[in-house]
Structure 1
Amino acid sequence: MNKKVSILGIFILIMIIIITFGYRKLGTIEDKIKLQEEDKYFKYYSNENDSKAIKELSEVLNDNYSAITERFNTNLETKVEITIYPNIKEFHKAIGNEDASDGIVGVAYDNTIKMVSPLNPGSIHNKESLLKVIVHEFVHIVTFNINNKKENNIPTWFMEGVSVYEANQITDYEKKAIRENLYQNTDITIDDINDNFYNNQFSYLYSGSIVGFIVNEFGYEKLIQVIKSPNDIENILDLSIEELKNNWINYVEKNYK
């Protein structure tokens, strides 16, 4: 009997060792992602290989941090935590959307940014565009902070538009494309842009362009007011949504050559 108990005990011990160390050896992506660096405003998490990308990400973020927070007259109370995933597949798995397009390479919520490594950006982006994506996602954090983290009341077009504009993600080539596309779709509405946001390749560009118009026409003070009270945009700008759209189209025709 004692012999059987001893054999059973040894078997259980072996299984525990196999399970514990076997899984530890295989590991998961999350197991391999650790805090690699920390600076005044940010914490950077990645695996060992992707830590090579942190230097450039840190430079871009720190170059933009003061300018963005000063323009928006806000301060972040805690450091932003940035997690870098080694590839598109692992990133999409981490955000719970494994069927997402390769164009989805970054997300922000609360005080956290998750993104794909600039060293392996996937089929749509490249390293340079991902260095703008990190700024785009940081602007989301700033926007949430101004809005008292009630981001659910911010229309998608406006929330994304602020980030696109601040991250300077509209090139001169894309400005021409916006102008040409609007020429063929003058009946488009801001509600159309918002309601079909993820089904229209121009949605991000349109939204960033509209925010650019608001900044140039009304200034950052008004933009901040809209971030705080997005449902009151018509009163803040003293324009109906239809007038905002028409004035924006006129702005594009005049300034996007």
Structure 2
Amino acid sequence: MVLPGLLYFLIFKYWPMYGIFIAFKDYQPFLGFWNSPFVGLKHFERLFSDDNFLVLFRNTLILASYNILFFFPLPILIALMLNELRIEVMKRFVQTLIYIPHFMSWVVVVGIAYIFLTTEGGMVNELLVRIGGEKINFLASNEWFRTIVTSEVIWKETGWGTIIFLAALSGVDPQLYEAARMDGANRARQLWHITLPAIRSTIIILLILRLGSFLDTGFEQIFLMLNAMNREVGDVFDTYVYSVGISQGQYSFSTAVGLFKSIIGLVLVVSSNYFAKKIGEEGIY
């Protein structure tokens, strides 16, 4: 049973890791991996000295922070609400309803956002006009870009994120709730003193894992939402790698950017795991 998963990680995750060495080479496809000239930290120096680096880092950091602050807590909240439902049919119906967006591609999700938010017949703008307001160009606005992107992530992935938390909640001993009710604890106190402590370790582990991909803001979604008007706040490392590294064939430079993101993720995972252990949690290792 372990073998298929083990082979997957060995072949698709660990074996390709040798490719990170091209971040220190001036990789030329016709010369091959080993014969391409070694250039040391040239590509990293180029990245850090680029005029766009601070803008890219700021945009990526803000979007990643939005995902942690606004998206990460929502699956926990939804799972707690679903756990309080006593009508099993209703619970399953709501679960199915909120899982569906996860299976939609980002092309579909962004297309739905365009239909709702466009100034030419968009539902939101038409509603604003009907109530006496003015149309807002959401899709070309720097002020609305991050809000829209974060909202899309919330709508698409919140339901799917509840699965692990619901599984953790199913393992809570029902006798604890019975004892609490006998002691006069209401539903709010049962939630605070039994339910949340029971899933605290799961929350911390998932938060640590989430920090590992902190700077991965999602290329496809951001790329589809970008235009000339919002690029100032929407351009992130993922789109930069595509436009500068991949489109122009600068594979070594794009690998250097990816390695930089991975190092940041590693530092965040190790640091958060250390602090988790300091407060008495198990962490991930």
More RCO (CA 8 Å, sep 6+)? 2
- Scaled by the length of structure 1, what TM-score is found? 0.24
Q: So what's the TM-score if we normalise by structure 2?
A: 0.22
